[in-house]
Structure formats: structure tokens, C-alpha cells
Amino acid sequence: MDSNNPSRRKFIKQSSVLALAGIGAQLLPNSTFAALQQNENALAETVFELPALPYAYDALEPHIDKQTMEIHHSKHHAGYVKNLNAAVKESNITGTLDEIIKTVGKYPASVRNNAGGHWNHSFFWKLMGPGMGGEPTGQFLEAITGTFGDFPNFQKELNKAATSRFGSGWAWMIYNKGSNRFEIVSTPNQDNTLMDISDVKGAPIMGVDVWEHAYYLKYQNKRADYLNAWWNLLNWDQITRNLNDAQKG
């Protein structure tokens, strides 16, 4: 997850405060040191960044068009990041994205919506890539055949969750460690199954954005057509890594 980035950035900044403390004690006049430390403390607040897409905007053509990808990443996802930064600043929230997601119930709705938007999209981009799709093999195939029978039935179940989600939201395949089960579920808006407030809980292994902004330019109201195209883009190596992380986590 890209949630490592913000925590790493924060760690570096906090380390530089410690480094400054050492320098300050030895070399700098107290007033200069205090000013520098105050400045560094201000920078140590939690700041999230839009991750680069791991491919070009037109790389997923013809299944997802360039304009949709560009608006989705540079406007929608960027907007969640910008609004999340404003929301955590306003409420004085620190922590990694994963930490915020897991305890989101104690924060204002703006944090829930924008932290979810940032987490979900960062996860979603990595599930796809050009020249991918086809049928999964190996460990992931074993996982789904054990639970859903075979790959076509797994596709049918995930498509059903995605098409029957009313309004905006996401459909997911998750791993619930407590019950040691794989499940197909959906969540409304920008919620996900890691959130403390979610009715359904588990670690996402794969998921699909069914907000209209994900498909409307090319597919208009035909969500099912978008889903059929989306299966041609799936990066099974990444999804298998997610499966391993979920079972370890």
C-alpha cells in the first residue's frame, strides 16, 4: 500500500527534528534553534500525497479510456488527497493512512470519506495494468476455487456484488482472518472493509470502483459493460501479493 509513503515522510521529518535537536544544543543560539524546531514541528504534521499511476493514462485503452483515467486520477483521487490533508489538519489527526482507516469511526465524516477515497484508489490502480487480465493461476486460483467453485463463478459473484451496489461504492473480494474465509462483499461511498465502522470486515484482496466517475464517459449507464471490460486489465501477480499480505496480516 502507498500508505507507507506518508508514514515514511513523517518519519524522516521527525528524524530531522531529532537531528536538529542535537545540532541546536551544540551550535545554534537558543532563539534560532527554537525557531527551527517550531518550523520542523509544523512540517511534522501528517501530509498525504497522490501516488503516481503505475502506467500511462492511455495504457488501459480500450477497456478504460484515457480521459476517464486522467480525470479519475488527477481530479477525483487528487481531490480526496487534498481534502484528507485539510480534514486531518483541521482535526489535528496524525498517523498513517492505515491507522486512520482502522479507527475512522472516531473522526468526522470528511475524514472517513477522503481517507477511504485515498486508500481505495491507491489500492485500485495497482490491481490493473496493460496487457494483463486472462485467468488467474496458482495460489489465487486455488483460493477462489476452494470458496467459489471456479473462476467463472467467482467472476459472476463479484459482478453481481458490483452491479447490485445501489448508487456509488465498491465491490470487494476480502479475506476475513477470524473466520479464515474469502468473501465477496460491497461497501457504500468510499468505505472499505478495513474501517471500524464497516458492517463487513476483512482485508481487501481485490476490488472494483463502481462510482459512475469510473466508467460514465465510455460506458454511460452500462455498469455491467464496464465490469466486463475491467476483467481484461487485472494484474494477478499484484492480487496474489495482496492475498499473501492478507493471510499474513
**Cα 248 → chain centroid:** 19
Q: Which of 125/211 has CB closer to Mn ion?
A: 211
Considering only residues 93, 209, 227, 230, which one is a binding residue for Mn ion as defined by CB under 5 A?
209
Closest CB 85 distance from Mn ion, rounded Å = 18
Considering only residues 48, 211, 215, 226, which one is a binding residue for Mn ion as defined by CB under 5 A?
211
Q: Which of the stretches 170-178, 188-196, 204-212, 241-249 binds Mn ion when contact is defined by CB under 5 A?
A: 204-212
Q: Which of the stretches 57-65, 97-105, 210-218, 222-230 binds Mn ion when contact is defined by CB under 5 A?
A: 210-218
Q: Residue 144's CB: how many other CB atoms inside 10 A?
A: 22
- In the chain, the DSSP E strands lie at 169-176, 181-188, 203-209
Closest CB 171 distance from Mn ion, rounded Å = 13
Query: One-letter amino acid identity for 53?
Result: L
Closest CB 205 distance from Mn ion, rounded Å = 19
Q: Are 51 and 2 in contact (CB under 8 A)?
A: yes
80 binds Mn ion (CB under 5 A): no
Window 133-152: contact mask with Mn ion (x via CB under 5 A): --------------------
Residues at the interface with Mn ion (CB under 5 A): 209, 211
